[in-house]
Structure 1
Amino acid sequence: MPSEQSSLFTATQSELFDAAFGGSPGRFPLPAAADPRESWYRSVALAGQGRYGAAAVELRRRRPDNTELASLHASTRASWLRQVGKHERAGHFDGRAVFLVGLTGPPESSDAVEARSDALTGLAADALGRGRFDLSETLLARSAAQRDGPFDTGSWRPALRAAWVAAELAMMRGDGSGAVRHAECARALANDADSLRHLVKTDLVCAAALSCVGEITRANEAAVQVAYAAGMHGLLPLRWAATMLCEGTGGLDAGMVASVDLAAEIDRRGGSTTD
């Protein structure tokens, strides 16, 4: 396995953006970042590969140079914690993300729209993980309101993240048809995305929604495909989640790695110590 320490060459911003939100999510080792924005891209890419320890180090490497980026840093840390089941701790970071950009008055830039939307969607996901479904719904509505204004650039990412959480909320409420509806909305949004990681995550949400309407065989088949795609693109956390869904909907294909072994690999990469 290549060492993160072997990454000695300097990136262009487009290379790190492509690893974080484009077509090369499994690229490793990653080039070095030259500024705080690139450092954020780099940390997002590392976490998508399950390299949470390296991602946390990267996120601390350069202080954000504006409040919107600082808020995105906090939201990003929160998302890592949720991915390993630490919703209570994630809420502290999402709360900081909201505090940094504020919620009084209209957003003054597209960066502020993105940061506010991410923070509120993160808080909605935290509330969902703690069983506070009505609060989660309220926060999703406030997140949507941030994207309904003159500075909304039509970026697919904030709306897509909100659609994932809306689908997950419907699943937790036992609303299978609502889960499928929100998952289909996510898929439509993902059609405008260049990010393979986001496309794979959307397919995972769709597979989970199928299981909620009793389409167990289809859900299992879809989850198997997600696990293979995540493995092919080096997306260990998504591979782990898809594998758990496979195990809950009929089992693994021959040759697939069990979820417990994938979880152990995430731990080795720093997932259990993400903070």
Structure 2
Amino acid sequence: MSPEPAGLHAWTAAVELGAQGRAAAARCALAALDADRATAASIRSLAHSTRASLIRQAGGHAAARAGDGRACSVAVAATGDPGDPWLDAAWLDGLIGLAADNLGLADFAASARLLDRAAAHAGAAAAAAGSEVDWQTLPRTALRLSWVRSEWGLYSGDLAVARAAAAASAELAADLPSPRHRIKTDLIAAAVAAAGGETAAADRGARAAHARAGELGLLPLRWAAATLLAGLRSSDQTGEQAVYQGEVTELRDRLALRGMPLAPLRPGERHGR
């Protein structure tokens, strides 16, 4: 297994802050990592793509492209070992982030090209690295690539791609030690089920993700699950739709206070930089 890069623990802590929706605190920690000359190039690159992901989660896909592009640039310019899985993961995170950014802007062709490029690099990197790698490197980026591929299928209207990628994501997530990654995988699968008219399966998956995200304090994922559950009940007369819609609004307000205002932005709000 490759040596641990300088700044890894600080980056991991920043990622956890972002997962809780504490975006302002996460951005401060990531900026400090980028400014610290002792931080490894792979971690500096990951700091840029992580900051971009926080902006993208809030709906700022256009603004996020600068951070993802910078992440790729830092990784490419690094002078580490060509087979370093941390540098490979950093490069892949930037590419996958750019694919997600373009997907959010409805540029499906550009997004597909970036996903294909990332898939080719991921395959070569995995073959070179072997099986003894930190799960936060190539295994994690393989799952992220599968997530965005599934979302590409959803947004472009290709349900076959969405379903195949969601199934692949479930297999990849099962091998990772992170509950957060499994929750997001399950939530994407629920969205795919909803798009395919499998309402009962979508409801079960979204409910489970909603509950688990709440237990772990993962506000962005709980907000996403509540949004899906509210949408599944658009014609529901039981009152559950209003309950979930109320939670969507309440969570949006809490996230805004933590530095993650969600699109559409309200007067005076802007995406974090």
After TM superposition, is the score higher than 0.5? Answer: yes
Q: Which bin holds the TM-score, normalised by the shorter protein?
A: 0.7 to 0.9
Task: Confirm or deny that 1:113 pairs with 2:88.
Answer: yes
**Equivalent-residue separation in structure 1 for 2:76 and 2:39 (angstroms):** 17
Identity %: 36
* Corresponding residue to 1:46 among 17, 40, 59: 17
Match of 1:158 among 113, 117, 141: 141
Residue 124 of structure 1: CA displacement?
Answer: 0.4
Q: Distance in 2 between the 1:103 and 1:153 partners?
A: 24
What secondary structure sits across from 1:65 in the alignment? coil
What are structure 1's unaligned runs of at least 5 residues?
Answer: 1-16, 18-34
Q: Which 4+ stretches in 1 moved above 6 angstroms? A: none
- Indicate conservation of the 8 Å contact 1:220/1:250, yes or no: no
| Counterparts of residues 241-252 of structure 1 (less than 5 Å) | 241-250=224-233, 252=240
In the other structure, the counterpart of 1:102 is 76
Residue 37, structure 1, aligned to residue 8, structure 2: yes
Q: Where does residue 222 of structure 1 map in the other structure?
A: 205
Q: Does 1:74 align with 2:74?
A: no
Q: Which runs of 5+ in 2 are unaligned?
A: 132-137, 235-239, 262-270
Asked if structure 1 preserves the Cα contact closer than 8 Å seen for 2:153 and 2:161, the reply is yes
Between Structure 1 and Structure 2, the one with more helix by share is 2
Distance 1:153 1:58 in 2: 32
Q: Which amino acid aligns with 2:186?
A: D
Counterpart Cα distance in 2 of 1:236 and 1:246: 15
Kept after mapping to 2: 8 A contact 1:110/1:153: no
Task: Map 1:1-275 onto structure 2 (within 5 A).
Answer: 36-62=7-33, 63=36, 65-102=39-76, 107-149=82-124, 150-154=127-131, 155-250=138-233, 252=240, 258-272=247-261, 273-275=271-273
- Corresponding pairs, count: 241
Normalising by structure 1, what TM-score?
A: 0.82
| Counterpart AA for 2:257 | R
Q: CA deviation at 1:168?
A: 0.3
Q: Is the 8 A contact 2:99 2:110 kept in 1?
A: yes
Contact kept? 2:230, 2:241, Cα under 8 Å? no
> If the length of structure 2 is used for normalisation, what is the TM-score?
0.82
Instruction: Check the 8 A contact 1:103/1:116 in 2, yes or no.
Output: no
